[in-house]
Amino acid sequence: MTTWEYVTTPLLIHNTTAILNNWGSQGWELVQIVTGPEGGLVAYLKRPVITGENA
């Protein structure tokens, strides 16, 4: 069974592509972008957890 780890990161409107490309190059997949509590955009990302079983 695949297990996942998650991360959230703020997105700067003028640099969204670079931010997402950076996370993507580290194996993170974008799940959703929402408006954060202070009004900015927040990206939710996931990637599979690498363990001895699925490494």
- Of the candidates 43, 55, 50, the residue with the CA atom closest to the CA atom of residue 4: 50
State the distance between the two ends of the chain, measured CA to CA, in whole angstroms.
13
What does the pLDDT profile of the chain (55 residues) look like in tens digits? 899 999 999 999 899 999 999 999 999 999 999 999 989 999 999 999 988 655 5
- The model carries a pTM of 0.84
pLDDT of residue 53: 58
Distance CA 27, CA 35 (A): 23
For 17, residues 6+ apart whose C-beta sits below 8 A from its C-beta are: none
